[in-house]
Each structure stands twice: as C-alpha cells, then as structure tokens.
Copies of this chain bind each other. A is one copy, B any other.
Amino acid sequence: MVNLSQQALDRTFAALVDPTRRAILTRLESEESLSVSELARPFAIKLPAVMKHLDVLGEAGLIARSKSGRTVAVRLTPAPMRAAMEWLRRYERFWSVRLDRLGAFAEAQERKARKSQRRKPRP
C-alpha cells in the first residue's frame, strides 16, 4: 500500500514538472471539458507533442479522455493532486511559523507604541 501510494506520488509530481502540462491542467480547471484541438490551440507546440503530454497526464490519472465520433473530450480528474498537496502541507508550518513571528513582532511594536503614547505629557 505504501509503495503504491509512493508510486502514485511519483507519477503526480512527474506530471507536474512540465509547464505545458501544468498549463493544460490550469485550463481544464475552469472548463467542464475541452476537445484535444481546443486544448492544443494556445500552445506553440504541435498536436503530437500535446498528445504526448496528455498521455503523461492520463497515466498519472489527472485527466480523463472520452471519444465521441472524431472528437476526444478531455476533462480534469484532480483527485491525485490531493495526495501531492497533503504531502507538501507537512512543510506549511515553516511558513506559518514565520508569519506567527511576524505577527508577534507587529503586536509587540503596537504595545510599545501604545505605552509611549500613554507616557507622553498632556499638552
């Protein structure tokens, strides 16, 4: 089980390495589904290259393809990204700790400012 989930993580992260593949996922995020040619349109690369990227995304389980007649519809199946995000979430405390420290610093500064205000002699 552990190895299977490790392999799934390998595939997910490998699929996310390429900026074109990330751009494909980003486009699919806002659309119910897109045809392969619609997906390929904004990219400078040729259709076969786009198809190869779709294969990688498909093998990682990040997209699903369905054929109707001549058109292949592509839609996002984002579930595997959840495990990738959970993996990264373990490191979130490093940013949050810094934010906590910043917050504590800001509060201390405010307390100081208030104290010095109180100390000022009234005119």
Interface of A toward B, CB cutoff 8 Å: 6, 9-10, 13-14, 16-19, 22, 25-26, 29, 76, 78-79, 81-82, 84-85, 87-92, 94-95
Q: Name the one of B17, B18, B22, B91 contacting A29, with C-beta atoms under 8 angstroms.
A: B91
CB-based closest 9 A-B pairs: A85-B88, A13-B16, A78-B91, A13-B17, A78-B94, A14-B17, A6-B19, A81-B91, A13-B13
Query: Chain A at the B interface: mostly helix, strand, loop or mixed?
Result: helix
Query: Cα distance A103–B84 when bound, in Å?
Result: 24
Given contacts A9-B19, A79-B94, 17 further A-B contacts (CB under 8 A): A6-B22, A9-B22, A10-B17, A10-B18, A13-B13, A13-B16, A22-B87, A25-B91, A26-B90, A81-B88, A81-B91, A82-B91, A82-B95, A85-B85, A85-B89, A85-B92, A88-B88
Query: Cα distance A84–B95 when bound, in Å?
Result: 13
Chain copies in complex: 2
Query: Cα distance A66–B6 when bound, in Å?
Result: 30
Query: Cα distance A82–B95 when bound, in Å?
Result: 8
List of B residues within 8 angstroms of A78 by Cβ: 91, 94-95
List of B residues within 8 angstroms of A92 by Cβ: 85
